[in-house]
Structure 1
Amino acid sequence: MVAIILGWNPRLGNDWNYEAVIEQVAETGQFLERWNIGRHRKIQPGNQAWLLLQGEGQHGRGLIGHGVVMSESYEAPQRTEPKSSARYVSVSFDAVLPLGSQIPSSVLTSEVPDVAWNTFRGSGRSLPAESEPGLQRLWREHGPAASEPCRIVPGTYPEEAVSRIDTNRYERDPEARRVCLAFHGTSCAACSFSFEVSYGDIGKDYIHVHHVVPVSQLGGNYRLDPIADLVPLCANCHAMAHRGVGNPRTVAELRRAIAAAGHLPGQILDDRALTAQDDAHRILEQH
């Protein structure tokens, strides 16, 4: 399947909190974002997307991320100029490098010479098919190390046995996760979704653990309270907690958003249920 190159110039009005992007990818394995693709319209869901750092900033040019296109292209208002629209696709970024750690354009030019990496502009251009194997090899060699999946195994701690835990790697501490889920359970704290209820045995004991305070804001000597500082969230709610904000949304904010959208926590509504809700709203408005 065709791969595309997405350009990112931090100086051109981009509102990304890139540190938050790196953190979310590390925690959840993805960061969903819409991306301006200019005039390119042949991009399809499933296309690989390579993120190229552009501009002449202090970090220089280079390959900095990878993702997968999740949608057809669509028109939407531009963030910097809301009165005008642009063409976008939704991209799920699954691997990103810190600024300064990108694969430099000099290496790209040497190993993948079919692309003008030093002068590449814009977004959405297709990567030549003959260049893809070389780019994938470079990414395997220089890209981020593969992270372990966020599978959580709950423990059996009684509430009175829970104590604070000293740790510098909160997102990797299985004991902190274990204590969190022993107290809170394995259903999503925002929408009540249960992987075990929905998927049976294969979903048993699976849930993401969300840091109420972002990991990047915790000092090295912080004493983590796994009950107060951690909360279980499903993958969808975890993504929405971080999407588009520097400080994550609270569980209460997520619940309000779900309620405002008309969904009942923990349920998937089919067309008949949605129609019934609309009918109920109309009946209530008449009285």
Structure 2
Amino acid sequence: MFITLIADYGIGDPAFAEVTQRLLMALPASQVHCLSVPAFSTLATGFWVAQLGLNPGPEERLIYHNCAPRKDDPEARQNNEGEGLTYALLPNGVKVVGVFAGYTFSFIKDHAQEIRNVKVSRGGSQFRSRDVFPTAATDIAKGDSSLLGERLKPDQIVSAPNDRIAWIDGYGNIKTTIPADTLDLKPETKVAIRVGDVVSDAIYTDGTFDVPEGTLAFAPGSSGWDAADGKQPIRWMELFLRGGSAWNRFGRPRVNQLVTRLG
């Protein structure tokens, strides 16, 4: 089985090694790939759950994710309790098990064949993703449905916003949650984009390299997946500075920050 572990522990944090060990105790022949998202960013978590889960990959796949800001209750927590564990089955057979917090299931809610609560303790450890959740996740991955509880409907899950930064890649390209099909612009149209307090001119294009060196492009990017209704595939808009970094151009904004097209 190919396991993707998505968590906000921090790049290179030994927590990834600790959780990987627990997963491999139950699934010793598996491969585990770790993906670090910014601290408490349920938006980035949910985005990558969908991008990796809804696109082609190995037949036997589990996405195990943990990003638990513990914002479901502002009061003092008893026994380190936090948001509960949830399971989703995608149309291609990919199993998703992770904490139901913020936007973690927002991008897949209309695609999943089923989404269900997992009957496992919500507390018991400060490090639940190592000490409490792996046993449940690996049991489900092996086909044990005894831990699956109440079904969740899509309208019980908050929708992802359509105006935020979802990710900043290693080249400084800014992936947004703006759906490409919501724009009605002709290629080479000049637009103004605001990210945080910074405004920059950009060129709308349907191909990110269709701009001269040093020009900021606003274009459908490399991220997206098939639509739940089988219609036009979902593509997400991206800010791309050819020969440079869009992230630097906009003052190094954070994931979740607002992106606005002016005019």
Instruction: Tell me which interval the TM-score lies in, with the shorter structure as reference length.
Output: 0.3 to 0.5
More helix by share: 1
More strand by share: 2
Q: Which has the larger radius of gyration?
A: 1
Q: Return the TM-score normalized by structure 1.
A: 0.32
Q: Return the TM-score normalized by structure 2.
A: 0.34
